[in-house]
Amino acid sequence: MVILGHIISAECDDKAYVINRHNAIFGLINNVLCYFGECQSLVKHKLLFAYCYNVQYGSVLEDLKSCYVESVCTTWHKGLHVAT
């Protein structure tokens, strides 16, 4: 079932949605760093926020204690770390 773009399985968990978001964030971070890797770190940070911010839509619906959500946060933090 999909509610406002948020995938909910028959077991009422959001594992598939969070994994999809994780892959989307990973791809967007990789694209920004691939195409703009030679830019200054401030520029890369602004680009990361501009390109990746829309992936945060619907995150208020997630269980923040889930290990899958934690992996999304870890990917985001690693992307910001690599951009510096």
pLDDT value, residue 76? 81
| Residue 14: closest CA among 28, 24, 2 | 2
- The domain of 49 spans 2-83
Digit-coded pLDDT (tens) for 28-76: 889 988 999 899 989 998 988 888 777 766 666 666 777 777 888 888 8
Q: How many distinct structural domains can be found in the chain?
A: 1
User: Both ends of the chain: CA-CA distance in Å?
Assistant: 39
pTM: 0.72
